[in-house]
Amino acid sequence: MDSVDPVVDSVIETRGLTKRYGGGHLAVDRLDLTVPAGSVFGFLGPNGSGKTTTIRMLMGLIEPTAGSAAVLGRPMPRAARAVLPEVGALIEGPALYGYLTGRDNLVRYDAADPTADPRTRRARVAEALDRVGLTAAAGKRARAYSLGMKQRLGLAAALLRPRRLLVLDEPTNGLDPQGMREIRTLVRELAADGTTVFLSSHLLDEIEQVCTHVAVMTRGRLITQGTVAELAAGTRRLAVTTPDPGGAARVLKERGVTDVVVTDDRVTGEPPADTDPAELNAALVGAGVRVRAFGLERASLEDAFVALTGEGFDVAG
């Protein structure tokens, strides 16, 4: 059996990873992805962008058409038997036994793990239920659970033992805002404990609030990857506060500023890359526009996504 490398800089690494389904549909197109150890890595893209297909290849559930994938320093799917005990995963919603209680579902999951000590099983199950806020509902049958409760139970199954890597596919699906906040807090706690978290989502603010790194997918292709701060910093918006917003907008457009947005006494836009912001400020003043505040501000991840893809995107679902 392959052993898992004890120390790797990248817990996930793909090169040219490709999946083409019957009929020629290209779900994932030559993906080069690097997930640093210790990161909370957001895998961001609209539904249908290839995120789940990628995760299924990483976990050895489907074979790639071309390219390679390594998880915890070992090739997948060949090293799946060595790698998967170190990985907790919640993919496309949990597979649950509806006739069993939430607690008994977790007992069954744990019993299927040949490395799990049966003497401490009940304690592990109780701790996992507590971490996802399901202790009070542990005695209810899973068929009576809401979608959000089922998501929590699936996450609890992934947390039954310490993991080096946690892979979560849309983990807040079906949760109310309070439940979403709780899961985000849990992800931060897991990362603080040393677990690398790979979190797939179509929600921009989910990625921006909890992740340290991000990769952006669209139509099966990787658009960019890096730290969240780097990605947002690559798109900086000009912001002008003025009692003459109409005049300011006109002058800025004449000077090549694009995506100009006027909100009350505030005008924002994308400045040309080759223009000194001081020249724009001088142009405003020269045109008689009263400028109360002027500067460049960090764009949001949403601004960066739109700039990269030209597409709109879900912000909060």
Question: Can you give the pLDDT at residue 182?
Answer: 83
C-alpha dist (Å) from residue 195 to 163, 214, 226? 6, 17, 19
Share of the chain above pLDDT 90, in %: 52
pLDDT in tens, 78-124: 999 899 889 999 887 778 999 999 999 999 999 988 888 999 999 99
* 212 pLDDT above the threshold of 80: yes
Range with top average pLDDT, 38-52, 66-80, 274-288:
66-80
Question: Can you give the pLDDT at residue 273?
Answer: 76
Asked, for residue 315, whether it belongs to a domain, the answer is no
Lowest mean pLDDT among 8-12, 96-100, 123-127, 135-139: 8-12
Name the band, by pLDDT with cuts 50, 70 and 90, for residue 308.
low
Mean pLDDT of 252-256: 93
C-alpha dist (Å) from residue 185 to 40, 72, 181? 12, 25, 6
* 178 in the same domain as 42: yes
* 270 in the same domain as 136: no
Residue where one domain finishes, among candidates 187, 214, 232:
232
Query: Chain-centre distance of CA 133, in angstroms?
Result: 22
User: Alpha helix locations (H) across 119-223?
Assistant: 121-131, 147-158, 177-192, 204-210
Question: Can you give the pLDDT at residue 206?
Answer: 80
Question: Can you give the pLDDT at residue 270?
Answer: 82
Is 53:244 a contact under the CB 8 Å cutoff? no
* 257 in the same domain as 123: no
Which CATH number fits the domain that encloses residue 224?
Answer: 3.40.50.300
Asked, for residue 92, whether it belongs to a domain, the answer is yes
Mean pLDDT of 191-201: 91
Tokens linked to 100: 């069993």
* 190 in the same domain as 168: yes
* 270 in the same domain as 209: no
* 132 in the same domain as 17: yes
* 248 in the same domain as 181: no
Q: How many domains does the chain have?
A: 2
Higher per-residue confidence, 53 vs 170 = 53
Mean pLDDT of 229-255: 85
> What's at 39, amino acid-wise?
S
pLDDT in tens, 145-158: 988 888 889 989 98
C-alpha dist (Å) from residue 301 to 170, 191, 232, 242? 18, 21, 5, 26
What separation, in Å, do the N-terminal and C-terminal C-alpha atoms of the chain show?
43
Asked, for residue 105, whether it belongs to a domain, the answer is yes
Distance CA 137, CA 198 (A): 27
Domain that holds residue 156: 10-232
Tally of residues, the chain: 317
Higher per-residue confidence, 139 vs 295 = 139
Residue where one domain finishes, among candidates 232, 253, 281:
232
| β partners of residue 227 | 213
Mean pLDDT over the full length of the chain: 87
* 210 in the same domain as 251: no
Asked, for residue 248, whether it belongs to a domain, the answer is yes
Which CATH number fits the domain that encloses residue 245?
Answer: 3.30.70.100
Asked, for residue 136, whether it belongs to a domain, the answer is yes
* 209 in the same domain as 123: yes
Name the band, by pLDDT with cuts 50, 70 and 90, for residue 8.
low
* 285 in the same domain as 207: no
* 15 in the same domain as 76: yes
Buried b (16+ CB within 10 A) or exposed e, 33-65: bbbbbebbbbbbbbeebbbbbbbbbbbbbeebe
* 187 in the same domain as 291: no
Range with top average pLDDT, 100-109, 153-162, 201-210, 292-301:
100-109
Residue where one domain finishes, among candidates 209, 232, 255:
232
